[in-house]
Amino acid sequence: MCAKAARGGEGTSPSKYGKELLAGFYRTMTTIRHFEQTVEKCFLEGEIPGFVHLYIGEEAVAAGVMANLRDSDYIQSTHRGHGHAIAKGADLKRMMAEIFGKSTGSCKGKGGSMHIADFGVGMLGANGVVGGGFTIATGAALAHKMQGTDGVAVAFFGDGASNRGTFHEAANMAAAWGLPVIFVCENNKWASTTPYRTTTSVDHIADRAAGYGMPGVVVDGNDVFAVYEGARSLVERARRGEGPALLECKTYRIKGHFVGDPEKYRTKEEVRKVFEETDPIPRFESAVVKARALTRKELDAIDGEAREAVRLALEFARTSPEPEESALFEGLYV
């Protein structure tokens, strides 16, 4: 069966965008990349405990979607949440400190990587439970509607999460009530060790949107322009009160499911090939340089700043104190 979902955002030329937006895309993507590479290294060296799921290779999704959002818009993230938090404007130092389990972390060291959150910028939390975010994002959108704002909420989710009942319940409720929520699927082809098509009934998750009476759009999730354009029309629609939508971003999980995953279910060769061909960052670089929208030098400057910001975040995390034991009993009730 062919896709009923619309295709969005192809063949967009970078030259039609202002420098500021382009620089923003690049800053977000490179910051996420450096942040994640740093986290990976620190985890492997034993500095970071717990479970860590990396966003490497999927940066264009967070960067493209979030460029359409304001601080007052909400997002609900997943276990793979660092990229969403960074793109939404979460403080890098407090994020890194949280991942290190320090008292200066955004959750005071109580959450860690799987529970990264920064409510001050509308980042309502990563979630350790797959599919935990759909209904919460729907509720945040309901609040926007009840409060009479034109704000929206975005629920990020994986292809695997689309098989949770919560996806279907939230999609129906959002559509029935015309709520301003955009369900953004990051279809990275894998749900943990399982290839997505072996446990999922459709080729395109966006096809499921039709069953709930909302638009479903498929974009190349490794093309930040395609993601940006796809999300833009759906966010604008939601702001106008025209209800929810589903955006499916086709991407690929470059790293193991979690740091330390032996990855016995696929070959290194397969992964290397996909990464070489589709890595969103070099794709963006060559597109903007070719269109003379940004110069190599400008890109290098942004990349250098991102690297430095991550270095400072790491230093902050490393030098921050661990929580006092007494903090265990703090913050259970207000």
Partner 1 sequence: MSTITFAQATLDAMTEEMARDERVFVMGEDIARQGGIFGQFKGLADRFGTGRVMDTPISETAIVGACIGSALAGMRPVADMHFADFIGVCFDEVLNQMAKIYYMFGGQKSIPMVLRAPDGLVNQAAAQHSQSLEAFFLHIPGLKVVAPSNPADAKGLLKSAIRDDNPVIYFEHKALFSTKGEVPDGDHLVPIGRANVVRKGSDVTLVSYSMTMNHCVKAAEILAGEGIDVELIDLRTISPLDVGTILESVARTTRLVIAHEAVKQGGVGAELAAIVAEEAIDCLDAPIVRVGAPFTPVPFARPLERAYRVTPEKIAEAVRSVM
Ligand X SMILES: Cc1ncc(C[n+]2csc(CCOP(=O)(O)OP(=O)(O)O)c2C)c(N)n1
Question: For binding to ligand X (CB under 6 A), which residues are involved?
Answer: 78-80, 128-131, 158-161, 186, 188, 190-192, 253, 257
Angle between helices 296-319 and 92-99 (to 10 degrees): 50
Smallest distance, Å, CB 241 to partner 1?
32
- The Cα-based distances of 73 to 150, 180, 182, 239 in angstroms read 9, 10, 11, 10
Contact between residue 160 and residue 191 where contact means Cβ atoms under 8 Å apart: yes
Q: Which stretch binds partner 1 (CB under 8 A): 54-62, 230-238, 241-249, 317-325?
A: 317-325
**CB closer to ligand X, 151 vs 160:** 160
User: Exactly one of 56, 161, 170, 227 binds partner 1 (CB under 8 A); which one?
Assistant: 161
188 binding partner (options ligand X, partner 1, none; Cβ < 5 to 8 Å by kind): ligand X
Q: Residue 211: which of 186, 187, 244 has the closest Cα?
A: 244
Q: Does 332 participate in binding partner 1 (rule CB under 8 A)?
A: yes
Show contacts of 89-95: CB within 8 Å, 24+ apart. Answer: 89/118, 89/121, 89/123, 90/116, 90/118, 90/121, 90/123, 91/118, 92/31, 92/35, 92/309, 92/310, 92/312, 92/313, 93/312, 93/313, 93/316, 93/317, 94/118, 95/35, 95/313
Smallest distance, Å, CB 191 to ligand X?
3
Contact between residue 106 and residue 91 where contact means Cβ atoms under 8 Å apart: yes
Contact between residue 27 and residue 306 where contact means Cβ atoms under 8 Å apart: yes
Q: Residue 181: which of 121, 228, 247, 116 has the closest Cα?
A: 247
**CB closer to partner 1, 17 vs 100:** 100
> Which position has the token pair 């997943």?
78
Q: Which stretch binds partner 1 (CB under 8 A): 84-92, 194-202, 236-244, 295-303?
A: 194-202
Do the strands 181-187 and 153-158 form a parallel or antiparallel pair, or are they unpaired?
parallel
Q: Does 110 participate in binding partner 1 (rule CB under 8 A)?
A: yes
**CB closer to ligand X, 158 vs 215:** 158
Contact between residue 82 and residue 39 where contact means Cβ atoms under 8 Å apart: yes
Binding mask 86-105 for partner 1 (x = CB under 8 A): ---------------xxx-x
190 binding partner (options ligand X, partner 1, none; Cβ < 5 to 8 Å by kind): ligand X
Contact between residue 146 and residue 179 where contact means Cβ atoms under 8 Å apart: no
81 binding partner (options partner 1, ligand X, none; Cβ < 5 to 8 Å by kind): none
Gap between the Cα atoms of 95 and 182, Å rounded: 25
Helix (H) / strand (E) element for 236: namely helix 224-239
**Residue 333 contacts by C-beta under 8 Å, 6 or more apart in sequence?**
none
Smallest distance, Å, CB 77 to partner 1?
14
Q: How many chain residues interact with partner 1 (CB under 8 A)? A: 41
Smallest distance, Å, CB 152 to partner 1?
26
Q: Does 265 participate in binding partner 1 (rule CB under 8 A)?
A: yes
276 binding partner (options ligand X, partner 1, none; Cβ < 5 to 8 Å by kind): none
User: Exactly one of 86, 90, 114, 184 binds partner 1 (CB under 8 A); which one?
Assistant: 114
Q: Residue 78: which of 5, 162, 140 has the closest Cα?
A: 162
Smallest distance, Å, CB 110 to partner 1?
5
Smallest distance, Å, CB 209 to partner 1?
18
Q: Does 155 participate in binding partner 1 (rule CB under 8 A)?
A: no
Binding site for partner 1 (CB under 8 A): 49-51, 101-103, 105, 107, 109-112, 114-115, 127-131, 160-161, 163-165, 191-194, 198-200, 264-265, 322-325, 327-329, 332
